[in-house]
Amino acid sequence: MSRVPQIDPTAFSPEQRKLYDAMIASRPDGKLQGPSSMWIRNAGLAAVTGQMAKLLRYEGKLEATLFEMITLLVARQWTAHYVWSVHAKEATRVGLEPEVIEAIRTRRIPPFSHERQKLIYEITNELVDTKVVSDGTYMRAEQEFGVDLVLEIVTAVGFYTLICMTIKTFQVPAPSDATPLE
């Protein structure tokens, strides 16, 4: 159970109502869940984080399998059940190999199918574990992805860290069918 109950939509300000309606319309299940259920309390935060999510997930240049790998690595680091649940399904849908997903879930080094996966793994884990990307990792990443895509990767790691922090702080529950993270 969440530490903070969801706001009753009848109590929304006009700005919150507009954002809520847009969020609900964009969701297949028509429910406001996850970090958005908290961010809607502050219309400005809800608007900005919604734009960031849209930019990274749907308008970003990073291939979907690598983006989902980032989300899983960050979720695993934080043991963020909600984020893991949502993104493990999406990772499977976009074609991230099941053995990579399972290795991340069980905190093992995945069997990388190409260098780009290995670089995503290294950048993400270095940022989350040491708060620094080593010179060697950065140079390889810049050569493989280019500066603009490295910026997108780092932004995705930071954004999903924010999401996990929100989920964990407010104890936002995972869907009932979530695969548990130990």
Q: Could you tell me if 99 and 147 lie in one domain?
A: yes
The pLDDT tens digits of the residues spanning 111-160 come to 999 999 999 999 999 999 999 999 999 999 999 999 999 999 999 999 99
Q: Could you tell me if 69 and 20 lie in one domain?
A: no
Q: Is the pTM of this model over 0.85?
A: yes
CA dist 67 and 156 (Å) reads 8
Give how many domains the chain has, as a whole number.
Answer: 2
Q: Please give the residue range of the domain that contains residue 133.
A: 64-170
The domain that contains 148 carries what CATH number? 1.20.1290.10
Q: Could you tell me if 40 and 69 lie in one domain?
A: no
The pLDDT tens digits of the residues spanning 79-117 come to 999 999 999 999 999 999 999 999 999 999 999 999 999
CA dist 153 and 70 (Å) reads 8
Contact 86, 93 (CB under 8 A): no
Q: Could you tell me if 105 and 132 lie in one domain?
A: yes
Nearest by Cα to 34 from 69, 92, 68, 81: 81
